[in-house]
Amino acid sequence: MKTINFIFRVHQRSNLKRYRFFEIGNDHYYADDYADEAAVRQVTDQCYLEANRTLLEMIRSSNGKFKVSFAISGLALEQFERYAPEVIESFQELAKTGSVEFLATPNAHSLASIYDEDEFVIQTKLQTNKIKQLFGKMPTVYANTALVYSDEIGESIAKMGYKTIMIEGAKHIMGWKSPHYVYNHAYNNKVKLLVRDNKLSDDINYRFSQWNWNEYPLTAEKFIGWIKMTPPEDDFFNIFLGYEALGVLNNKNSGIFEFFKALPYHAIEQGVGFSTPGESAAKSKPIDTISVLHPMSWADEEKDLSAWCGNELQNEALNKLYSISKRVHLCSDLLLKMDWQRLQDTSHFFFMTTKHYSNGMIYAEAIPYESPYDAFMNYMNVLSDFMERVNAQYPSSIENEELNALLQTIYNQEQEITDLETKLEACKEKTVKRVLKPKEEKVPMKKKITATVVKK
Amino acid sequence: MKALMFGWEFPPHILGGLGTASYGLTRGMSLQPDMDITFVLPKPWGDEDQSFLHIIGACNVPIVWRDVDWNYVNDRIGSKMHPDEYYQLRNGIKYDFHRIWTNDLGCIDFSGRYPDNLLEEISNYEAVASVIAHSRDFDVIHAHDWLTYPAGRFAKQISGKPLVIHVHATDYDRSRGQVNPDVYRIEKEGMDSADHIITVSNLTRNTVIEKYHQHPDKVTTIHNAVEPLEFINELHKSERKDKVVTFLGRITMQKGPEYFVEVASRVLQHTDGVRFVMAGSGDMMDKMIRLVAQRGMADKFHFTGFLKGRGVYEMLAESDVYMMPSVSEPFGISPLEAMQCGTPSIISKQSGCAEILDHAIKTDYWDIAAMADYIHAIVKYPAMYEALRKNGLEEVNAITWEIAGQKVRKIYDMVCGR
């Protein structure tokens, strides 16, 4: 049976305020709260609430046959908590139906998978824990930022324990292969790859309200008809969109919500089912492997990383940012860590692209800066201040290796303390059992132990 | 197509951007095979490049009939004009200009500069135009800037040929709104009697439409371009500890020099390793020197005085940032020249050239914080400098006078009804 997986990416970018260089060292608040709130409110009103309501209704009226999945970034969840808690509630309501799957994705919608594997792991943990905490389930399928993927990234995702990964159906990788099957990682045959159907996805995302498109208007019947018309062996149709496709990119008057509402009816009528990536992966057999040597993504025509690291401005900013990641990991300052997450948002680097200067990009209007140079300058000013704060905690005069060694010592000592503590605990229990004096005082133990270690 | 152009400056003896633009445009147009340009100048020096056009010096055109023999004429002005041409022009004298003082050849002495009796010189130029209009054959008249509008008008009256005027600047740009009524009158009359008006930017076009009440259909923008620098490979940037930020141009109200000083003061408060240079001269120079002293940064802020010829490009090439905070700039060719030298430019949005440049930084001329921030970014973040340099070079090399010349030709064809 042909099944459709609808997956929506939910992310709210973190806006930086206008940060002049003479504020470096004086002002450590970088966020443009007004812009953040305005954006969250706008998308909440136009998209999230209405779209969630529509999907919920679809799930209920189809008796749970309609299924849907979300990849929500941690930064977005943070912003909802601050500015639009009702969005989280409506997602929770969706989660309760049992027909909704949440995917794992980097917390900050970042490129950590390319630049820093440790950070990638940390961010995944942050996001998945948050998802577990809010929606009660640990994600099992991985959808990286903008579906950035290469064999290497696949390997590190597998190391984190994920067996299913969403990837883009980029032409230069797929060649003649169809995105409608499940594939294997190039050399780890335990890892399954689900491929995004970019044609069908973009039909809804970009072309749905384009009246000069030859298929305009797109109806649910026509859409399901296309899926039905594919060869009988084609099973999986992974439609992966930014959630803004519902209500923002295609506004309410375009009929996008009605289109979705009509989907289950036509699907059931024509024998097409719905599912989630996790379920699809579980019941399918991979037919081949896909090898991706250079990272690919779902961005632009090139389907590579050039939207975020295509010019010298972007490369400089990213390299400077990730040059301090080791030190940030050592810090325990909570505010610093929060800023660190926000600074990794890919949108900062997207604004520095010089690509839309020549070819009219679809998002070009949404860029809040006058030019790529403006975006770069503002970001670098913020980053300079941030780096100063990190250096204040771990001075740059100490070499990374030296610092590592010192920290390793501290870490080892900590390890030793816990080891000794458990030993002591065991001894204590033994003593307690032997002497049978349960009311022995416990308190001074720890102090003593610490003292012994320090002497060492 | 024969064009009669009236200009005021021509390289190598130039005082402002008008001469450079006249040269570039005529050179670009001369690439069209059937284009024949006669360029009238108040006072040519004789070392102008005449390989692609014919220059007539107004100071060698007789306006009062004098009986002089061939050899005498050859002795006097032979190096600048062929005696036969002198006689041909002499046949064009149809009016009595005895009221004007003339020399032994019946010619007027022009200064060719911007003297105090500029209005008198303009009207003398008009007299010369009448003689040329009567004696020469042409299809279209093209007048560059307000100094030559009266001459262009008179030539049109006499010959009945269409007049195109080229607005390189208006008095609104030069005076920050305090226009001189005499200049305004000359400009307005010129525009009123023109068949078509060419402006160097949309900014100027709007001024012409709004302040001079011209019909929008009659006004077309043709942006200026730049000539490739011949000695670009000889320019170099020396290794220096401090970064150099340069202002280059006339130090006058129009160019916004005081904003540059304020920006410098803002940057120097927070940043080391930057020096500021103000190159050029003008009526606000003394005031600027005082302002720099008041801000207490004379050790980091330098004045070079007036720079000429290659000195300009050498200064640009040595700079790390070029800044033009003009309050109102009809076009502004120098940022393009800076970009040719590989120097990133910061220009005001109130400059005409901002309309065609993507890879120059654009800010409002009054936005001192933004300009200071950009200078800091270019100086401190190497990627910013490199990106601006590389993309700027690429961009500016694609802006050529040949394309501008073709657009002018289209307007000629239109006004001539071809």
Question: Residues A58-107: pLDDT tens digits?
Answer: 999 999 999 999 999 999 999 999 999 999 999 999 999 999 999 999 99
CA angle B322, B175, B323 (to 5 degrees): 5
- Do residue A317 and residue B383 have CB atoms under 8 angstroms apart? yes
Mean of pLDDT over chain A? 89
- Do residue B358 and residue A315 have CB atoms under 8 angstroms apart? no
Task: Find the mean pLDDT for residues B340-367.
Answer: 93
Between CA B37 and CA B40 the distance in angstroms is 10
Please report the pLDDT score of residue B234 as a whole number: 86
Residue with tokens 């039909």: A203
**Partner residue opposite A312 with nearest CB, options B361, B373, B386:** B386
Please report the pLDDT score of residue A437 as a whole number: 61
Question: Residues B152-171: pLDDT tens digits?
Answer: 999 999 999 999 999 999 99
Q: Which of B376, B378, B389, B395 to mutate to test the interface with A (most CBs of A within 10 A)?
A: B376
pLDDT band at A440 (very low <50, low <70, confident <90, very high): low
Instruction: Note the helical H segments in A274-345.
Output: 277-283, 306-309, 312-323, 325-330, 334-343
What's the gap between Cα B98 and its chain centre? Answer: 33
Instruction: Note the helical H segments in B64-180.
Output: 70-77, 83-90, 118-135, 149-159, 171-175
Give yes or no for residue A326 having a pLDDT over 80.
yes
CB atoms within 10 A of CB B109: 14
Between CA A379 and CA B336 the distance in angstroms is 27
Question: Residues B59-79: pLDDT tens digits?
Answer: 999 999 999 999 999 998 888
- Do residue A20 and residue B269 have CB atoms under 8 angstroms apart? no
Say if CB A149 and CB A120 are below 8 A apart: no
Domains and CATH numbers, chain B: 2-225+401-415 (3.40.50.2000), 232-397 (3.40.50.2000)
**Partner residue opposite B384 with nearest CB, options A22, A376, A384:** A376
Phi/psi for A362 (5° steps) reads -70, -30
Residue with tokens 């040719």: B340
DSSP annotation of B106 reads S
Residue B173 Cα, gap to closest chain A Cα (Å): 25
Chain B partners of A372 at a C-beta cutoff of 8 Å?
Answer: 387
Say if CB B225 and CB B401 are below 8 A apart: yes
Range in A279-288, B83-92, B303-312 the model is least confident about: B303-312
Question: Residues A96-153: pLDDT tens digits?
Answer: 999 999 999 999 999 999 999 999 999 999 999 999 999 999 999 999 999 999 999 9
pLDDT band at A360 (very low <50, low <70, confident <90, very high): very low
Chain A partners of B380 at a C-beta cutoff of 8 Å?
Answer: 21, 380, 384
Structure tokens at A444: 């001074």
Q: What DSSP string describes A69-119?
A: EEEE-HHHHHHHHHH-HHHHHHHHHHHHTS-EEE-B--TTS--HHHH-HHH
Between CA B291 and CA A385 the distance in angstroms is 32
Question: Residues A366-382: pLDDT tens digits?
Answer: 788 888 899 999 999 99
CA angle B49, B343, B289 (to 5 degrees): 90
Class of domain A2-290: alpha beta
Structure tokens at A115: 């630049």
Q: Which residues contact B71 (CB under 8 A, 6 or more apart)?
A: none
What per-residue string of b and e applies to A230-245 under the rule 16 or more CB within 10 Å gives b? eeeeebbbbbbbbbbb
Question: Residues B53-64: pLDDT tens digits?
Answer: 999 999 999 999
Please report the pLDDT score of residue A456 as a whole number: 45
Collapsing DSSP to helix, strand or coil, A15 comes out as coil
Task: Find the mean pLDDT for residues B251-267.
Answer: 93
Say if CB B150 and CB B125 are below 8 A apart: yes
Please report the pLDDT score of residue A365 as a whole number: 59
- Please list the residues that pair with B5 across neighbouring strands: B39, B142
Between CA A146 and CA B10 the distance in angstroms is 57
pTM of the model as a whole: 0.84
- Do residue A377 and residue B381 have CB atoms under 8 angstroms apart? yes
Say if CB A280 and CB A3 are below 8 A apart: yes
Residue B357 Cα, gap to closest chain A Cα (Å): 11
Helix (H) or strand (E) holding B55: strand B54-57
The domains of chain A are located at: 2-290, 306-393, 400-455
